[in-house]
Amino acid sequence: MSALPQPRTVRTVSSIRELVGSCRSAHQTVALVPTMGNLHAGHLSLAQIAAEIADKVVLSIFVNPTQFGPDEDFAAYPRTFDEDWARVRDAGTVDAVFVPDVAEIYPFGADQAVRLTLPPLAQELCGATRPGHFDGVATVVCRLLNIVAPDLLVLGQKDYQQFILMQRMVADLRLPVSVISGPIQREADGLAMSSRNRYLTTAERQIAPALHAMLQYVRSALRSGASDYSQLQAEGARALAEAGFRPDYVEVRRLADLAKPTADDRPDELVILAAGWLGHARLIDNLLV
């Protein structure tokens, strides 16, 4: 039996500030990995990246009410703290798990919260289907940054639009933190790891890798010089539908800012993003070209 160091569980703003303050006094850098829990290998890979760059790693677990729409799965979102904590302990890369309750993050209530509104990109792609979602993410991430005051914010590339928007928020609000991203972690058959994969039936789980396969097909075409993005997007959506998905979008965008590309853009400046429903689950994925 190896005796791994136990991550501290911290529940209040004052306690996490005290902890980070003592790191500061010791001239240690701090990275924050924000999550909504239900941790999988994707989250742990971000903690691993954080631990390689910063001296101390704080992983937060907070199911944020302001980023769920009225018809979304806030109440049903899986809350699995004991399992999460055990995974974090076994990984050995996290120094503190910050698990605030709603009143710590929204002292005046989530309904009365000071809200952030992001630029128009937040209404496109996933934002078109989930109005207000990214504004809600910004609303909580801004608070987490103010509370933890990390040197580094580590986000996953599966939520690529979220990563770009948080990078934008940090730059625009002049928050003193660096934002980095970690690559998507996938199952053996290519399915991107996600907390929402647990909503899939066995039959749906077998269909799910078609999302990644479609992205690979579009990437090959782009690498081979295809530049009729509209046609590729339509083909991609058709492939998703044929596999059994209800497609939401398939889009080729610029990597740097998710602007729409022109036919002159180089393939290695592009990313393909897609989303679709499989039964009750809405899956998203993307691939850098």
- Residue 35 CA, chain-centre distance (Å), reads 8
Whichever of 13 and 226 has its CB closer to a second copy, that residue is: 13
Distance in Å, CB of 237 to a second copy, minimum: 30
As a whole number of Å, the CA-based R_g of the chain is 19
Give the contact letters, 152-191, x = binds to a second copy (CB under 8 A), - = no: ----------------xx-xxxxxx---------------
Distances (CA, A) of 243 to 121, 189, 280: 29, 15, 16
Residue 254 is a binding residue for a second copy (CB under 8 A) = no
Nearest to 146 by CA among 28, 16, 8: 16
Total number of residues binding a second copy (CB under 8 A)? 29
Backbone φ, ψ for residue 26 (5° rounding) = -90, 15
Distance in Å, CB of 100 to a second copy, minimum: 10
Q: What is the four-CA torsion angle of 58, 140, 49, 285, rounded to 10 degrees?
A: 150
Q: Which of 10, 57, 61, 149 binds a second copy (CB under 8 A)?
A: 149
DSSP track, 153-173: EEEESTTHHHHHHHHHHHHHT
CA pair distance 2, 80, nearest whole angstrom: 24
Catalytic residue among 43, 133, 212, 280: 43
Among positions 75-134, residues that touch a second copy (CB under 8 A) are 105-108, 112-120
Tell me if residue 133 is catalytic: no
Whichever of 127 and 247 has its CB closer to a second copy, that residue is: 127
Q: Which of 9, 12, 15, 17 binds a second copy (CB under 8 A)?
A: 17
The binding site for a second copy (CB under 8 A) comprises: 13, 17, 105-108, 112-120, 138, 142-143, 146-147, 149, 168-169, 171-176
